[in-house]
Structure 1
Amino acid sequence: MKTSFKSSENLRFLIFTILFIAALVNLGTDVANAQPKGIKNIVLVHGAFADGSGWKPVYDILVKKGYQVSIVQNPLTSLKADVDATNSVINRQDGKVILVGHSWGGTVITEAGINEKVAALVYVAAFMPDKGETTGKWVAAAPAAPEAGFTAPDQYGFVYFDPAKFRGGFAGDLSQAQSDFMDVSQVPIIGKCFEEPVKQAAWKNKPSYGIIATQDKALNPSTERNMYERAKAKITEIKGSHVIFISQPEAVAEVIIKAATELQ
């Protein structure tokens, strides 16, 4: 009986050791799988009438895949202020960066993208002006959709997306409740931002990717295409509204990941 007891204890110890080693191997595999290939740092830049929290669905996907994601909160008071805010975040990264901009954020990353840490630019239903051009030029490049509209600048110079048109023009493929909340929490932009010319265009010297939101009512999809094609960006069409990064986060994240992995 004594010998049998020792044999059982030894067997249990052996089994425990095998299971423990297997767990460590699996843990190592999981850690390895969580490390993204290529560039690991992603910086996301929001546009007008929104803030950085809108990027959360894309953020969740990228972080789960092991990327280091940072989100800029633009002041929306001038192009320089937004470029400065973006560069502040870029400079905190520990290596090369994929810089992503939505809408007005595209104008911001066009200038901030000259930062030496930026390896590539991703435009999400975004403006992509050239040196000397204003965002306003491209706002007016095609007739505005009936669903779109901005308020006149208030006494402080701030412009809002017309609340009466917000859902149809800005967030048509989100739920009514989500759209309503985004409307009442929208971040206004100083109207003169759209009149400020871009001083440098990073896309001329760095790889660029452009996402066309095919159901965009705030920025005409044909205008998006014209800017992207001029810049020779790699273009992806995704069915969705202007806030496609919220309604189609998986598809948007896929383009960002493509940019990161192609530049490893």
Structure 2
Amino acid sequence: MKSNLVKVAATLAVLAFTSGSALAQSAVDMIKPASIQAKNVVLVHGAWADGSSWAKVIPILQKAGLHVTAVQNRLTSLKDSDEDVRRALAQQDGPTVLAGHSWSGTAISDVGNAKNVSALVYVAARAPEAGEDFVALQKTFPDTPVRAGVEKFDGFTKVSEDAFLKYFANGIDKDEARVYYAVQQPTAASLFGERTTDTAWKSKPVFYAVSAEDKTISPEFEAFLAKRMGAQTITLDAGHLSMVSHPQEIADLILKAAGRK
């Protein structure tokens, strides 16, 4: 079964890369819904962001009848972020889809084996294996321009305004992108090198949204991770913040993971 999903993921990725957002939407339609119907969705934000990055996806999921929680997870350590996500999961009554963007793919991989998690959704996200040197793995793929704009201070990092607008929030209206720049959360410099102790994507249904125009995590790396997980995959003609520029497609993927479409 998992090998078949890998083949589907690879095929859909190629189609979407060559044909753009319209085919990406049809790719969502081709994906089979998860077998367990979820009642809840827990959304986890990535580095240099906060829960508002899910603001356009949330009302779509709520309108579909799902109970939605956007975690304001700390970016001070993996342990802290894991605790925040576990706390949110513990408050859910019934099957829950756990979705993570960017760095938070690390956290959902680490805590996603919670009993009430019915499926995992990765949005332009990391997806480490337990104990893996993920930084070393990422270096085997093309570098991205956002890295030149990462500024360090007091053990934390942020993305400069120029790099944020050009690369982190590419594909988004500049005025809107400035709002996300204003709410970006300082991220511990040590966070990116921390290693997980669990690999939830090996035992849960997995869905992945690749961003073909990503300037923060290379699209090639995202496609590799999706294939490695055997994820049901779509590829969007989007930058790193695809849940902002393509909220309907991301919401539709989450609804598939929730067994709702």
**Identity level (%):** 35
Distance 2:146 2:190 in 1: 23
1:178 aligns with 2:171: no
Give the structure with higher Rg (CA): 1
Please report how far the alpha carbon of residue 169 of structure 1 lies from its aligned counterpart in structure 2 after TM superposition. Answer: 1.1
Question: 1:34 maps to what in 2?
Answer: none
Distance 1:106 1:177 in 2: 27
Q: Give the CA RMSD over aligned residues.
A: 1.7
Which of 234, 239, 242 lines up with 1:241 in the alignment?
Answer: 239
Contact 1:107 1:135 in 2 (8 A): no
- Pairs within 5 Å for 1:217-236: 217-236=215-234
Distance 2:136 2:73 in 1: 21
Please report how far the alpha carbon of residue 167 of structure 1 lies from its aligned counterpart in structure 2 after TM superposition. Answer: 1.4
Question: 2:85 maps to what in 1?
Answer: 86
- The runs of 4+ residues in structure 1 deviating greater than 4 Å are none
Contact 2:43 2:98 in 1 (8 A): yes
Q: What letter is aligned with 2:156?
A: F
1:126 aligns with 2:132: no
SS of 1:57's partner is coil
Which of 192, 195, 208 lines up with 1:194 in the alignment?
Answer: 192
Contact 2:145 2:216 in 1 (8 A): no
Contact 2:151 2:159 in 1 (8 A): no
Per-residue CA deviations over 1:111-140 (Å, capped at 9, x if unaligned) read 110111111100000001111124423442
Contact 1:127 1:138 in 2 (8 A): no
Distance 1:170 1:178 in 2: 13
- Pairs within 5 Å for 1:12-31: none
Question: 2:63 maps to what in 1?
Answer: 64
Count of residue correspondences: 226
Instruction: State the TM-score, normalizing by the size of structure 2.
Output: 0.82
Contact 2:37 2:95 in 1 (8 A): no
Aligned pair in 2 of structure 1 residues 89, 65: CA closer, same or farther (>3 Å)?
same
- Pairs within 5 Å for 1:4-15: none
Please list every run of 5 or more consecutive structure 2 residues that lacks an aligned counterpart in the other structure: 1-35
Greater Cα offset, 131-140 or 90-99: 131-140
- Pairs within 5 Å for 1:69-148: 69-148=68-147
SS of 1:101's partner is strand
Greater Cα offset, 87-96 or 161-170: 161-170
Question: 1:55 maps to what in 2?
Answer: 54
Aligned pair in 2 of structure 1 residues 139, 149: CA closer, same or farther (>3 Å)?
farther
Contact 1:120 1:206 in 2 (8 A): yes
Distance 1:149 1:135 in 2: 19
Distance 1:138 1:221 in 2: 14
Q: What letter is aligned with 2:127?
A: M
SS of 1:149's partner is helix
Aligned pair in 2 of structure 1 residues 146, 104: CA closer, same or farther (>3 Å)?
closer
Please report how far the alpha carbon of residue 147 of structure 1 lies from its aligned counterpart in structure 2 after TM superposition. Answer: 4.9
Question: 1:31 maps to what in 2?
Answer: none
Which of 201, 204, 222 lines up with 1:206 in the alignment?
Answer: 204
Q: What letter is aligned with 2:143?
A: A
Structure number with greater CO (CA < 8 Å, separation at least 6) is 2
Contact 1:163 1:183 in 2 (8 A): yes
